[in-house]
Structure 1
Amino acid sequence: MKSNSQNRKALSVFFFLAGFSFSTWASRIPSIKTTYEMNEAELGSFLFILPICSLIGLPISGWLVSKYDSRYLLTYGFLLYIISLCGIGLAPNLEILTLVVCFFAFGLRAINISMNTQAVQLQKRYHKTINGSFHGIWSLGGLIGILVATLMIYLEISMKTHLISVSLFALFTGVSAASFLLKNDRETGGNKFRFGKPDRFILYTGIVVFCAAVCEGGIYDWSSVYFKEVVQAELFTLSYLVFMVSMTLSRFYTDRLVDYFGMKKMFIISALVVIFGVSILILFPTFYPALIGFFITGLGVAAIFPMSFLLASKSKKYAAGMAISIVGTYATIGVLLAPPFVGYIAHLFNLNLAFLIFVVAAMVLIFFSRKAYLAL
């Protein structure tokens, strides 16, 4: 039987690789836009693929994580995720690229549910809060991924070579860590979804996750485009890099802040910081103020997802894996709506004005985080 320390290290490897691979994909969105000559609205429509396919795969992932140990879904979902990332680089045309991104989305959904299920189950074996550290490691992976991407773009290395190299590294590392994942974590009760009137706690927590997904997912997809087309910076990945540095630093302190302030207050603090950071981006769309805005926004966004999934695991009606799967639906819808809406508003008006979506989402988050605690 593997120790808690070994389980934690193995799960950390998967969080790292998931973030590393996702930031690799996100950093190449402007390259895809240029290669296929898309305008903002067309890119927004293309970005619909990821959340729609993720939403389709969610019931399957939820059923699998409730029926089997989460390590099985994590291992096989990770293989699909990484092979698809490689396929994005190899796609010869837009039709094949669209198909590959669908599989990429299925894999992403599977590993998100299974990783967070492993994290909350492992959390139960510790007396201190550790859930935020996993998301910190995800952000660290994303940060290193964007550093690598920035170097690749600077050296004018093709997207194909870039994605294949990252895929091979992730595949080898993930397979090596898989045998050390937490075993026998399936809960015997609360594994069936119940139709009828929605559970208020899950509903309100789901809306909180939705708002977090709108802010985090939208900025992931549009930060590089914003910096390239609004700020008109040549090294357009720099905004994403600053955002990831901020989130990484903040997430390694999230557990301490949650223990100090409590999750209820931390939701409010985080949302207010997001509003402040995005306001800077809207009002001062120039090089240095924009970098400061992305940094502050990253500080605010960082704690919301770890807290949301930890809050969902406290459900009295559902097992942790099923609760995470259900609220994950709201996250997927948030990711589904935010990036395309940003694209459409940017096409009609401008990208600055489109970022108001994130301000509204942060305000809604404050309201429903309070209601979730009242319903607990």
Structure 2
Amino acid sequence: MDNIVSPSTRVDARSRLATRLSFLVAGFGLACWAPLVPFAKTRLAVDDGALGLLLLCIGLGSVTAMQFTGVLTSRFGSRLVILVGGIGMAATLPLLSIAPTVATMGATLLAFGAFLGVIEVAMNIHAVEVEKRAGRPLMSGFHALFSIGGFAGAGLMTTALSASVPALVGTLVATVLMIVALIIAAPSFIATTKEDDTPLFVIPRGIVALLSLLTAITFLVEGAILDWSALLLTDAGLVAAAKGGVGYMVFAIAMTTGRLTGDAIVARLGDRRTMMLGGLLAVVGFGVLLVAPDAIIAMLGFLLIGLGASNIVPVLFRQAGAQTAMPASLAVAAVSTIGYAGILAGPAGVGFVAHAVGLPAAFTLLAVLLCLVPLCARCATAIGATSGDHCNRDEPDHS
């Protein structure tokens, strides 16, 4: 009798699998687009400036859709919204490989970005509810699946294009895989609470505003390392230009590893200590990177930043779902929107700072901003707080 698995346990296992699949699909679909960018530039015959404006369409579509996804999830439940976002991404992906004009590509990227924004918010809302019902940390593992999906998507598309498979064929294969995954997941999504009187737009307030700010800072760090780490290494003469991307590779592997082990870490340390120690580790990593005399020490810096930052965002999303200042769905949507805005606008801001005072100084500013994470860990993890006044209380850690 001890080996019998209860129906509730089976349901929990299925809902966790469905959530993981939704994160996997989102990361996979987004990463499938990256290898298509050079082909799109050639097909459309545009310069780097025009291409940059086109790429901005993904971010604009995502941020715009995110603002309304919390409301849609409140009214219709996360299952339907996840499926709409995921299937929309899958259906739009092949169009990115054949859009014949700048206008059609821009419109397609807007739609692709919007569907991405929809699934990203809805799957995090669903993840918060699944974690609550499970009664133990799961958020880091869910976010790890997004990274794994990214590796898989980029790998699949790069392999296909390298084998001279037409881009349209490769994207159609990716579309089929995404839809199959969503079909498998669909019956196991849990029914989240629906509210018909949810306002169309809500400004983050109380603890949610702090959680959103910290998420934006963490995403800003991720975006800056993606866009600027290679140049930082090559300008310092630490690596050759051809190997400039190795720093981000180390960072990405460290972040994925940290998230795969993050749920166990949070269960042992609690949200507060995880956030505090993770933030400190990432800040130390920046210090190591900025004073590194050679490539090996610089890679150690990227490793520490990736490990330290890996579980900060999952903790912040968990706290957004647990606070009582706003409905959980709207809070998660706010954290997603402002955080994603950070990863979009941040790298451009780093560029402006770097132009004025140099790239090392810009990365030093990132480290200073990141100091807010450990400094605000106590406040940000005051579960149930409705205002900043609760930050002054010595509350216990929660896992």
| TM > 0.5 | yes
Could you give the per-residue CA deviations for residues 299-332 of structure 1, whole angstroms, max 9, x where no partner exists?
1221011111101111113332122112223213
For 1:1-376, what aligned pairs fall within 5 Å after superposition? 3-26=11-34, 36-38=46-48, 47-148=55-156, 151=159, 155=162, 160=167, 164=171, 167-188=174-195, 191-192=198-199, 199-222=205-228, 231-234=239-242, 238-284=246-292, 287-346=295-354, 351-373=359-381, 375=388
Q: RMSD between aligned alpha carbons?
A: 3.5
Q: Could you tell which deviates more after superposition, 268-277 or 164-173?
A: 164-173
Taking the aligned partners of 1:335 and 1:95, their CA distance within structure 2 comes to: 25
Contact 1:74/1:110 (8 A) holds in 2: yes
Structure 1 pair 202–188 and aligned structure 2 pair: CA distance change class (3 A)? same
Q: Could you tell which deviates more after superposition, 49-58 or 70-79?
A: 49-58
Could you give the per-residue CA deviations for residues 258-302 of structure 1, whole angstroms, max 9, x where no partner exists?
122221122122222222333444444965444443332221221
Structure 2 unaligned residues grouped into runs of 5+: 1-6, 383-387, 391-399
Q: Could you tell which deviates more after superposition, 92-101 or 267-276?
A: 92-101
Q: Following TM superposition, by how much is the alpha carbon of 1:13 offset from its aligned partner in structure 2, in angstroms?
A: 1.3
Contact 1:26/1:221 (8 A) holds in 2: no
- Determine helix, strand or coil for the equivalent of 1:113: helix
Q: Following TM superposition, by how much is the alpha carbon of 1:254 offset from its aligned partner in structure 2, in angstroms?
A: 0.9
Taking the aligned partners of 2:228 and 2:32, their CA distance within structure 1 comes to: 14
Structure 1 pair 365–29 and aligned structure 2 pair: CA distance change class (3 A)? farther
Structure 1 pair 292–213 and aligned structure 2 pair: CA distance change class (3 A)? same
Q: Could you tell which deviates more after superposition, 98-107 or 111-120?
A: 98-107
Letter in 2 for 1:184: A
TM-score in terms of structure 1 length: 0.83
Report the identity percentage.
Answer: 24
Taking the aligned partners of 2:251 and 2:209, their CA distance within structure 1 comes to: 29
Contact 1:207/1:365 (8 A) holds in 2: no
Taking the aligned partners of 1:109 and 1:43, their CA distance within structure 2 comes to: 21
Q: Could you tell which deviates more after superposition, 30-39 or 293-302?
A: 30-39
Contact 1:27/1:149 (8 A) holds in 2: yes
Contact 2:83/2:186 (8 A) holds in 1: no
Q: Following TM superposition, by how much is the alpha carbon of 1:94 offset from its aligned partner in structure 2, in angstroms?
A: 4.0
Q: Could you tell which deviates more after superposition, 11-20 or 70-79?
A: 11-20
Higher alpha-carbon Rg: 2
- Determine helix, strand or coil for the equivalent of 1:183: coil
Contact 2:354/2:362 (8 A) holds in 1: yes
Q: Could you tell which deviates more after superposition, 347-356 or 204-213?
A: 347-356
Contact 1:136/1:251 (8 A) holds in 2: yes
Structure 1 pair 106–367 and aligned structure 2 pair: CA distance change class (3 A)? same
Taking the aligned partners of 1:60 and 1:95, their CA distance within structure 2 comes to: 25
Could you give the per-residue CA deviations for residues 28-68 of structure 1, whole angstroms, max 9, x where no partner exists?
667778984427xx776655433333222123212211101
Could you give the per-residue CA deviations for residues 84-118 of structure 1, whole angstroms, max 9, x where no partner exists?
33333333344433322211221111011110111
Taking the aligned partners of 1:301 and 1:31, their CA distance within structure 2 comes to: 33
Q: Could you tell which deviates more after superposition, 183-192 or 122-131?
A: 183-192
Letter in 1 for 2:21: V
Contact 2:229/2:248 (8 A) holds in 1: yes
Contact 2:63/2:337 (8 A) holds in 1: yes
